[in-house]
Structure formats: structure tokens, C-alpha cells
């Protein structure tokens, strides 16, 4: 078996493959990184792995975006050193996008990189964060400012974990599935109708396969991969502004706001109305306009201080690096505010 994969493995076959990888790597020490909401997933995960070293250590961080910080990262590096972790140690991230982003960053930087596995437990992490090799932590109040591009050695997707996922976190993952549907242009109407009780494994597979195919084409995001940022320019600004305003929202809820703006700027009114029926636009107050715009100026995708957007020429036809002025953005937000 190869020890570097960009595609996820699903369900029972996924456990067999992970067992085979554990046998091949024979890690000197295995660390399972969780947050306190995903610790319970270990009781499902651990018994299914015959090759997992019984002397594994569980590292638990508090749930939420605050754990993607330099302080938490430094603490984890210290703990790895205390346990004598070496370059043959393994980190298995069992959690949502925060645990996957954080654990991958820790692994990619510790002793210049040790193996790691992502086991996503939230829908968002299954269809997006666990796949693609981006990791990182937040810094100076801004999202994902420190990080690397490093592929996990393995990704295991087990939809059974979703049974304990709260509804708003499910919707957060749904937002990224909607993004993939808009970008691929294949199943937008169906994607809008998805519900937790009826979500099928093949729908997760379809969404993640779309992302994996883009990543294969452009791993380091020099071109086409930028399309995966659809909705994320306003989205990231909204997420970090909401956090500092004392009214935090999920990543996906912020992405929905961003998708509304991107659809309007793309001239795709019908799709924006359809999105609003399922997830209404949240009105932006006047005093939030400047801080939101300033956050977009910090976006990593910008060049020469200009704000760059991903837009759609039509469903399934994304374009990227589109310069958007403050005036255009403000007009779009005003139009959405008036219509809501």
C-alpha cells in the first residue's frame, strides 16, 4: 500500500485499509487527537482497528475554532516531546475540521513532518476539510494564517459518526456540499433538498470526489483550486467578524452568506433565490460594512491589495481571480439586505 493518499476511503473497507497502513507504518507511538465532543467517537473507531497499538495516547483539545491557535499548537508539540514522539510517530485526527486542520498542522511541522491520518466526524470535515492537504491555525484574529500544504497518509470517512452531530453543524457541512454542487453544476437542485435523515453515502462520496478531482489538478492552489473558495471571501470575513463581535457562527453559516454574495455578483438571481428559501440571507448592519470589507482585504487570495473573488459564469462554470471593488460588494450586500 502507498502511504500517501489524497482520496478518502469509506466505511468498512476504509477500516481495513487503515489497518493495513498501521501495519505498514508500524508507528513508534500513536496519538489520537480529539476534541471533547468527539472523544466518544473513539469507542466506535478504536475497536474496528486490529492493528492499532493498544498503548496509544489520547490528546483532547476544547471544541471550537479557538483551538486552532498557536497556544494550543505549542501545547500539543510540548506533549508530543514529553511522550518522546519521533519521526516515526503517528497522529490520527478524529474530529471535525478544527481537529483535522490543527492535527494536520501539528504533524506537518513536528520534526519537519510526521505521518498523520484524518478521520472526519463532522459533515463539513468529511466533504471538505479532511481532504485536500491544506492545514492551519488562525493568527492575529485572522483565519488560517499559518499552515502548510501536506497530504494526509490516509482519510477514513465513516458516516456513522454523523448520528451525534448537532443540526447546525450538519447545515455547516451542507453549505460546502452546496458549494461543490454550484461549482460542478451537476446536482444543484438535489443538493438543496438534502436532509440529515436521508443523506446517503453516495451523496457524500460525490461531493468529496469533486473536491479531490480539483485538488489532484492543482494541489498548491496556483490556479483552478482557487474555485473551491467560492463563497469564502465574504464567508471568512463574516466568520471572523462574527467571532470578535461576540456572536460566533459556524464556518458553514458564514459560507452561506458568502454564497449569497457570490451568486448575486455572478448575476445568478434564480440560484440566489433558491438558496435564500433554504438558508435566508442574514442582514448586514451598516456598521459592519467597513470591518467586513477590511477583513476581505486580508484574504490570502488577493494580489496587489485588490479583493479577488470566485464567481460563476453559469452553474458549473466558475471563474476566479475576479477583482471586486468595495462599491460592487457594498451594492450586492445592499441588494441582499433589501430583498431579505
Ligand X SMILES: NC(=O)c1ccc[n+]([C@@H]2O[C@H](COP(=O)([O-])OP(=O)(O)OC[C@H]3O[C@@H](n4cnc5c(N)ncnc54)[C@H](O)[C@@H]3O)[C@@H](O)[C@H]2O)c1
Query: 292 to each of 57, 129, 203, 258, 306, how far by Cα in Å?
Result: 41, 24, 33, 11, 15
Least spacing, CB of residue 303 vs ligand X, in Å: 21
Least spacing, CB of residue 163 vs ligand X, in Å: 8
Least spacing, CB of residue 60 vs ligand X, in Å: 11
Nearer to ligand X, 149 or 293 (CB): 149
Nearer to ligand X, 249 or 332 (CB): 249
> What cell numbers appear for 161 in the block?
459518526
Phi, psi of 35 (to 5 degrees): -110, 175
Residues near ligand X (CB under 6 A) are 35, 37-38, 41, 63-65, 68, 95-99, 101, 121-122, 124-125, 128-129, 132, 134-135, 143-144, 161, 164-165, 169, 172, 250-251
- Report how many helices (DSSP H) and strands (DSSP E) the chain contains, helices first: 13, 10
Nearer to ligand X, 91 or 124 (CB): 124
Task: Give the count of alpha carbons within 13 A of 237, CB side only.
Answer: 25
Least spacing, CB of residue 270 vs ligand X, in Å: 27
Report d(CA 154, CA 37) in Å as an integer: 22
Nearer to ligand X, 29 or 154 (CB): 154
Least spacing, CB of residue 73 vs ligand X, in Å: 13
Nearer to ligand X, 300 or 326 (CB): 300
Residue 93: closest CA among 138, 30, 181: 30
Report d(CA 125, CA 176) in Å as an integer: 10
DSSP state of 136: -
Report d(CA 310, CA 323) in Å as an integer: 9
Nearer to ligand X, 5 or 68 (CB): 68
DSSP strand pairing (116-120 vs 90-95): parallel
Least spacing, CB of residue 70 vs ligand X, in Å: 15
Least spacing, CB of residue 273 vs ligand X, in Å: 26
User: What are the DSSP calls for 4-41, one per residue?
Assistant: --SSEEEHHHHHHHHHHHHHHH--SSEEEEEETTTGGG
Nearer to ligand X, 121 or 206 (CB): 121
Residue nearest to ligand X (CB): 97
Amino acid at each position: 500500500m502507498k502511504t500517501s493518499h489524497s482520496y478518502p476511503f469509506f466505511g468498512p473497507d476504509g477500516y481495513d485499509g487503515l489497518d493495513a497502513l498501521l501495519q505498514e507504518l508500524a508507528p513508534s507511538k500513536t496519538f489520537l487527537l480529539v476534541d471533547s465532543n468527539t472523544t466518544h467517537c473513539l469507542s466506535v473507531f478504536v475497536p474496528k482497528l486490529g492493528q492499532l497499538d493498544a498503548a496509544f495516547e489520547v490528546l483532547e483539545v476544547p471544541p471550537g475554532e479557538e483551538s486552532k491557535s498557536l497556544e494550543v499548537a505549542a501545547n500539543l508539540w510540548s506533549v508530543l516531546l514529553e511522550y518522546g514522539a519521533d519521526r516515526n510517530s503517528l497522529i490520527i485526527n478524529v474530529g471535525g475540521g478544527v481537529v483535522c486542520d490543527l492535527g494536520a498542522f501539528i504533524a506537518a511541522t513536528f520534526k519537519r513532518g510526521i505521518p498523520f491520518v484524518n478521520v472526519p466526524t463532522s459533515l463539513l470535515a468529511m466533504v471538505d476539510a479532511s481532504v485536500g492537504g491544506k492545514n492551519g491555525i488562525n493568527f492575529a484574529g485572522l483565519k488560517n494564517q499559518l499552515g502548510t500544504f501536506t497530504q494526509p497518509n490516509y482519510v477514513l470517512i465513516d458516516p456513522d459518526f454523523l448520528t451525534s452531530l448537532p443540526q447546525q453543524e450538519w447545515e455547516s457541512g451542507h453549505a460546502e456540499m452546496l458549494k461543490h454542487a454550484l461549482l460542478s453544476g451537476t446536482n444543484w437542485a438535489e443538493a438543496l433538498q438534502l436532509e440529515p435523515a436521508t443523506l446517503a453515502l453516495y451523496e457524500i462520496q460525490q461531493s468529496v470526489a469533486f473536491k479531490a478531482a480539483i485538488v489532484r489538478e492543482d494541489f498548491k492552489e496556483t490556479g483552478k483550486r482557487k474555485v473551491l473558495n467560492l463563497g469564502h471571501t465574504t464567508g471568512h470575513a463574516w466568520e471572523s467578524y462574527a467571532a470578535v463581535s461576540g456572536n460566533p457562527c459556524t464556518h458553514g453559516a458564514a459560507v452561506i452568506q458568502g454564497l449569497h454574495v457570490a451568486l448575486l455578483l455572478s448575476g445568478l438571481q434564480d440560484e440566489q433565490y433558491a438558496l435564500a428559501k433554504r438558508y435566508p440571507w442574514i442582514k448586514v448592519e451598516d456598521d459592519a460594512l467597513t470591518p467586513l470589507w477590511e477583513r476581505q482585504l486580508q484574504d490570502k487570495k488577493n494580489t496587489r491589495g485588490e479583493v479577488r473573488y470566485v464567481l460563476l459564469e453559469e452553474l458549473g462554470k466558475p471563474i476566479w481571480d475576479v477583482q471586486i471593488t468595495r462599491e460592487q460588494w457594498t451594492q450586492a450586500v445592499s441588494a441582499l439586505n433589501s430583498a431579505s
